[in-house]
Amino acid sequence: MIKAVLFDMDGVLIDTEKYLIRFWKQAADEAGLHLEAADFYPFRSLAARYASVRFRELYGEKYDYYAIRDRRKELMQSHLETNGLEIKPEVEETLRILKEKGYLLAVVTATDEERTKKYLTEIGIYDWFDSVICATMVERGKPFPDVYLYACEKIGCGPEECVAVEDSPNGVWAAYDAGCKTVMVPDLTWPDEELEKKVVGVTPSMKGILKYVKNM
């Protein structure tokens, strides 16, 4: 029986993934590393300690992952301060329906605690959640399952009693390995054949998760 629904934040609740990619590319360009936007897709929801290693393997010692990352943060912060955050379609209605039906709700994100609270408060949904769990609270971030296991512990449910909602491969792997039933709501990319085996369903819209929650 499903008791809780756990949501990733970027790309699921807020429409920020497109900006993350845009400003990763701009920051890398400024550092002299000229890549396509799609080259940054594998780094979505990937904890920095693992992303930095992968970045170095792919592009060598010449380019400082953390310096590029810091510049990306500056660019994105400036954009969001000027233009504000965009909530993803159907989020508020979906949260309301789930809450009315008695499900526990939590956020499980790779974003740090300060920015997570700021973002969720700005779009007016912070108080909907029974718990907000950030990867900075655990030893290993996504794609490892630690953050989802910790979230289950915090809300008092077993992983098998939770549906996780994710948009990226690293997030899906984290939820799947934790034992959660995972629904993917794709944002920038759709799952490949291997990733489809890790999810109970794929839906293009947030409200589409409701049928999976109901049927489990």
pLDDT of residue 215: 85
> Is the previous residue joined to 204 through a cis bond, with omega within 30 degrees of 0?
no
Do 117 and 162 lie in a common domain?
yes
* Structural domain span for residue 92: 4-15+86-215
Q: Return mean pLDDT, the chain.
A: 96
Q: Dump pLDDT digits (tens) for 33-46.
A: 999 999 999 999 99
Spatial strand order in the sheet of 131-134: 131-134, 104-109, 4-7, 162-166, 181-184, 201-202
Q: Which of 61, 83, 105 is the last residue of a domain?
A: 83
Confidence of residue 155 (pLDDT cuts 50, 70, 90): very high
Q: Give the type of residue at 107.
A: V
What is the average per-residue pLDDT within 174-188? 97
Q: Which of 29, 53, 83 is the last residue of a domain?
A: 83
Q: Give the type of residue at 70.
A: D
Q: Dump pLDDT digits (tens) for 67-80.
A: 999 999 999 999 99
Do 101 and 56 lie in a common domain?
no
Helix ranges, 37-185 (H): 48-59, 65-83, 91-100, 113-122, 146-155, 169-178
What is the spatial distance between Cα 138 and Cα 152, in angstroms, rounded to a whole number?
A: 13
What is the average per-residue pLDDT within 12-22? 95
Nearest to 151 by CA among 124, 182, 122, 125: 182
Tokens representing residue 106 in the block: 């939590």
Do 129 and 205 lie in a common domain?
yes
* Radius of gyration from C-alpha coordinates of the chain: 17
Do 115 and 147 lie in a common domain?
yes
Q: What pTM was estimated for this model as a whole?
A: 0.94
What is the average per-residue pLDDT within 186-214? 95
Do 148 and 164 lie in a common domain?
yes
pLDDT of residue 205: 94
Confidence of residue 216 (pLDDT cuts 50, 70, 90): confident
HSE-up of 58 (CA within 13 Å, CB side)? 15
Do 10 and 52 lie in a common domain?
no
Query: Which residues neighbour 8 within 8 Å (Cβ) at sequence distance 6 or greater?
Result: 45, 107, 108, 109, 164, 165, 166, 167, 168, 171
Q: At what angle do helices 65-83 and 17-30 cross, to 10 degrees?
A: 130
What is the average per-residue pLDDT within 83-100? 97
- For the chain, percent of residues with pLDDT exceeding 70: 100
Do 121 and 200 lie in a common domain?
yes
